[in-house]
Amino acid sequence: MFTICKHYNIINMKASEIWKKAMDTLPREIAYKFSKPRFFISMDEERGLINFSFNDKGIEYKLYTPGIMSHADAFFYSDVAKFYSMQDRRVFLMTPHIYPKIAEKLITDGINYLDASGNMYINYDDIYILKTGKKTEQEKVQKSRLFSESGVKLLFGILQSPGFLELNFRRMGAAVGISASSVSILLTEMEGAGYLYEGNKKKRVIGKRPELIQRWVKAYNEVLKPKLFLGSFSSKKVPLKTEFKNVKPLSFGAEWSGEPAANLYTNYLSPEKFSLFVREDSKQWRNTLSLLPEKNGILSVYRYFWDTGHEVFYNQEQIEDAVPPLIVYAELTGTGDSRNLETAKMIFDEYL
């Protein structure tokens, strides 16, 4: 059901603002060729229809406004586009923010899109417009301390543990290995960006959580994860692809991440590559699995950056022998692999 109003043009402010910002970035000789769009938006304000013309040629799409796009979203909308293609209809995404790698997948899958910075892909009959490389305001925010190494660590605690924001600055910092002064600065940045606000009884509340998770995932994979990497290995003792479930990493102070952890959370994904979080000062994990360094080994090992024994991380939805689901989701999403993205969406829906 679509919401009808008295005006000839049915406007969803999110979509109309994205359109206006995108048009403002275009050269005048291109922008004037676009007519003013008409939006027909459903009650949930996330889907509908869009009509506009370019060079007087009428264009109509099935419209989706998903907000901040993740790799998992791109995988989902690929399936949506395939469904509508059987009805000879085309999908158009409008979002404030599309990363280049996600844009590449959308283009490959034939999904037209537009973001607020003017990045766009419109391939409709004889009309072909491709504009890429424009950075969004979100990417500018990402350069702040909030998405630096310290910020990523703090946000992990905030997003993973419901009780984290109830701690004082010193205890927050101790849980994720940063200083209390950094916690104070980063929380102030969160408030300024709309990611944190004061709720009932002056409790701190996360704002724009889905968006914040996607920003965190990108920063985790690009900023923090490379610094945690201890090396690639192969095991001369355990055939991991068939026997990994018989390995109990907690017994030697470690936990599965990535694909094996996803299997433990969903019982769905058969792991091909393996990730393990360990305590850097212990070599028990190496000895137990009889690991040998190997440049392209199937096992990647990372060091913990959070205090796994801190009280704030107790009593959360975490599977034994696996790292918290937020880490698993980030690692799966960062691969860009379709089977991993499908599993990542399952973890997001169930645990995040």
Distance CA 278, CA 68 (A): 32
What's the confidence (pLDDT) of residue 139? 52
What's the confidence (pLDDT) of residue 66? 80
What's the confidence (pLDDT) of residue 8? 25
CB atoms within 10 A of CB 308: 16
> One-letter amino acid identity for 295?
K
What's the confidence (pLDDT) of residue 278? 94
CB-side neighbour CA atoms (13 Å) of 112? 19
Distance CA 214, CA 68 (A): 7
| Domains by residue range for the chain, with CATH | 13-136 (no CATH), 144-351 (1.10.10.10)
| Sequential pLDDT tens for the chain (352 residues) | 333 332 223 334 478 888 998 898 888 888 889 999 998 876 656 778 999 999 889 999 999 888 777 777 788 888 888 888 888 889 999 988 788 888 888 988 889 999 888 899 998 888 888 888 766 555 554 456 889 999 999 999 999 988 899 999 999 999 999 999 899 999 999 998 889 998 888 888 898 888 899 889 989 999 999 999 999 999 888 888 888 899 999 999 999 999 999 999 998 889 999 999 999 888 889 889 988 998 888 999 999 999 988 888 875 677 889 999 999 999 999 888 888 889 999 999 888 8
Distance CA 263, CA 150 (A): 30
Q: 120: which 2 tokens?
A: 């766009």
What's the confidence (pLDDT) of residue 307? 92
What's the confidence (pLDDT) of residue 277? 96
Q: 328: which 2 tokens?
A: 């698993």
pTM beyond 0.95: the answer is no
Question: Helices 325-335 & 149-160, crossing angle to 10 degrees?
Answer: 120
Distance CA 194, CA 198 (A): 11
What's the confidence (pLDDT) of residue 137? 53
